[in-house]
Structure 1
Amino acid sequence: MKDTIVVGVALHSEAGRRSGQRAIAWAAERAMDRRQRLELLSIVGGAVGMVGEAHLIDQARDDLRSQLEAEARTLTDAHPDRLDVRVRVDHGNPVAKLIDASKDAALLVIGSDFRGDAGPARGPHGIRIAAGSHAPVVVIPDADPGARSGVVVGVDGSDLSERAIAFAAAEADRLGEALITVIAWSPMEVSRNPGLYPPEYLDALARLSEESLGLSLAGLSSTYPDLRIERHVERGYPSEAIEVYARRARLTVLGSHGRGAIARFLLGSVSEEVLRRLPSAVAIVR
């Protein structure tokens, strides 16, 4: 069984260092709770094979390794006998290298310098990593979690949604938090009188969504008898409904709908939209 949490750490800037430390702290807590190994991984970028680059790469690797080893010592000194921390420095395309590292990982954790609504939406790198990863990915924003509570999971009745629920329930149980489940529905768009829908049609959509949510959660209470589960059935676009709850949550869990060699590098639209805004720490489950 895969038992290593890989943390992608960018130490090339103050923002990268700060977000990397938040990712390390999150991953270390989970590793201790789940008794998993922790691997801190940094990537030296640059054009492979450029003339005269080898010496610079070696220097950069040595510097990164020293910084990672210092982070590892800080963790093991603070938590003696509770953490097995290893460090690794690689060279190449950071996105490709992190995706490759995920093949042997139980979980991939990356930090983000995104700081909430005050800044622009996230760039493509975190989204590409989450879409291409072979393991679940958790993206940690550069923001103080503060008084956040609860683990949010988006539900749509699919098999992948079931895996997201399982991941979210395990995390909520581990953290002693409520599991906040959200399913969203909206009426079919029509060009003529779009605001006029028969009430029975809207009631039926809401009822079907509520039934789908109930079926998706069947059996959770027996697996986690002490877990508090909230059920929310919302009319509206899924990513917007999820974000309302995610803004106050410790973690938001979503499924990636990528399939196949090419589709694996594409996130579902809902997952991508939530990840771009990063309202909380976000886990993408495959």
Structure 2
Amino acid sequence: MGEAIVVGITDAAVSRRAVDWAAQRARERRQPLELLTVVGGAVGAVGEDAVLDAALEAARGHVEGEASRISADGLDVRTRVERGNPVAKLLDASSHAALLVIGSDYRGPGSGPARGAHGVRIAAGAHCPVVVVPDVDTAGRAGVVVGVDGSPVSEKAVAFAAAEADRLGEPLVAVAVWTPLEVPRNMAVYPAEYLENMQKLTAEALGLSLAGLASKYPDLEIVRKVERGYPSQIINELAASARLAVVGSHGRGALARFLLGSISQEVLARLATVTAVVR
């Protein structure tokens, strides 16, 4: 894994948001930035070469224009234009990146059906953390929300979120969600003891996951939340007022580029804010 932040850009409006987000992070962390655009769709039809050449030339002009727009304060910006399958090319690029940033045209709840089939595949198969930037103005929002479930990948998500919250000077909102066991419909209520123990056990697990952060980031404000419900719903509810949300990906193995943990996939499908998927 390299040190560069790679941004996959297109001519969509949200692409500029993704570039701006990545450029700000690159400046603050003194990382190089690589803008990558991919021209796809070629099938080898007669007369296609001229169309492809024109598309490549237009893509070069666009990516160089974006590089020129953000080049300031000594920011190291590189550009690259590729041809082929965009998802495959971005996954390849992630193998030498510290972070991969992509945009999504989803505008949040009420904007229509969920988005992100390509984004889910990229987040599931990438070799580095992936940040998905929605077409949403996050100005005025505060906090970095991270979903915590005690798993090894959750530990990586917590570490990433804490570092980002400290960098941004924002509180870290760590949320652990528990869901009661399904019971027969004729069972009117759950025993109070069971509900209390679930809340207590989840709170204890959350505390263990956050152990050590206070000593590493002494100025970091940590807000702990233990909620009953469904994880993706609660994470997105909290993320709706946050600058950043962070979730772990449980996708693995030969199908990794097609599968993402159900919670992270649901969070990505209905983006509430800029969201990082850590694996």
Task: State the TM-score bracket (shorter-chain normalisation).
Answer: over 0.9
Say if 1:202 and 1:2 are closer, same or farther in 2 by CA, change over 3 A: same
Q: Pairwise mapping of residues 194-213 of structure 1 onto structure 2 (< 5 A)?
A: 194-213=187-206
**2:240 equivalent in structure 1:** 247
Shift of 1:158: 0.2
Q: Distance in 2 between matches of 1:207 and 1:87?
A: 51
**2:2 equivalent in structure 1:** 2
The answer to whether the aligner puts 1:73 opposite 2:65 as a matched pair is no
Q: Distance in 2 between matches of 1:9 and 1:264?
A: 20
Give the CA RMSD over aligned residues.
1.2
Say if 1:51 and 1:118 are closer, same or farther in 2 by CA, change over 3 A: same
Unaligned runs of 5+ in 2: none
**1:172 equivalent in structure 2:** 165
The answer to whether the aligner puts 1:62 opposite 2:57 as a matched pair is yes
Q: Distance in 2 between matches of 1:156 and 1:263?
A: 20
Shift of 1:123: 3.5
- SS at 1:26's partner residue? helix
* Structure 1 residue corresponding to 2:264, chosen from 265, 268, 271: 271
**1:186 equivalent in structure 2:** 179
Q: Distance in 2 between matches of 1:194 and 1:246?
A: 33
Q: Distance in 2 between matches of 1:239 and 1:118?
A: 17
- SS at 2:89's partner residue? helix
| TM-score, normalised via structure 2 length | 0.96
Q: Which residue type is aligned with residue 38 of structure 2?
A: I
- How many residues get paired? 278
**1:128 equivalent in structure 2:** 121
**1:89 equivalent in structure 2:** 81
**2:92 equivalent in structure 1:** 100
Shift of 1:263: 3.4
* Structure 2 residue corresponding to 1:219, chosen from 208, 212, 223: 212
Shift of 1:8: 0.4
The answer to whether the aligner puts 1:35 opposite 2:20 as a matched pair is no
Unaligned runs of 5+ in 1: none
Shift of 1:192: 4.7
Say if 1:61 and 1:151 are closer, same or farther in 2 by CA, change over 3 A: same
Answer whether contact 1:48 1:92 (CA < 8 A) is retained: no
Q: Distance in 2 between matches of 1:247 and 1:234?
A: 16
Answer whether contact 2:40 2:85 (CA < 8 A) is retained: yes
Shift of 1:265: 2.8
Shift of 1:49: 3.0
**1:157 equivalent in structure 2:** 150
